[in-house]
Amino acid sequence: MSEFLGSRISLISKSDIRYAGTLHEINSDESTVSLENVRSFGTEGRRGRPEEEISPSDQVYEYIVFRGSDVKDLRIEEHPGIKETKPPAMPDDPAIVGVSTAHRIEIPS
């Protein structure tokens, strides 16, 4: 499950409240799901009766831990961006005659 860490997640609790945040951890030992930078979108009409609906909130919570047994639905909305690690650019230095990277020698022109 670690490949999903950092993904943007939409989670609906058994109370029919939807939360969206960044997946921080899934702890199978404690049966919890942890999200960072979380917003509550309320029940969004899932309860069926206007007087039972819960409104969305503009507040962003830094970190929320959810009990796994109380999670009704969990969806990956956006995977984390693949971070490409590029070696630092070689400075344009006349003192450098050659550079070796991954067993390849480059001679600056």
Q: How confident is the model at residue 81 (pLDDT cuts 50, 70, 90)?
A: low
Query: What are the strands of the beta sheet with 18-27, ordered from one edge?
Result: 60-67, 32-40, 18-27, 8-13, 71-78
Residue 55 lies in a domain: yes
Q: Is residue 95 part of a domain?
A: no
Q: Please check the confidence at residue 82 and state whether its pLDDT lies above 80.
A: no
What is the pLDDT averaged over residues 94-107? 59
In a domain, residue 102? The reply is: no
Distance in angstroms (rounded) separating the CA atoms of residues 40 and 1 = 24
Mean pLDDT within 97-101: 63
| Rounded CA separation 16/54 (Å) | 9
Residue 75 lies in a domain: yes
Structural domain boundaries enclosing 68: 2-79
Q: How many domains does the chain have?
A: 1
Question: Does some domain include residue 108?
Answer: no
Look up the CATH number of the domain holding residue 42.
Answer: 2.30.30.100
pLDDT at residue number 80:
74
32-59: per-residue pLDDT in tens?
Answer: 999 999 999 999 999 999 999 999 999 9
pLDDT band at 105 (very low <50, low <70, confident <90, very high): very low
Inside any domain, residue 99: no
Q: Global pTM?
A: 0.70
In a domain, 91, yes or no: no
Residue 98 belongs to a domain: no
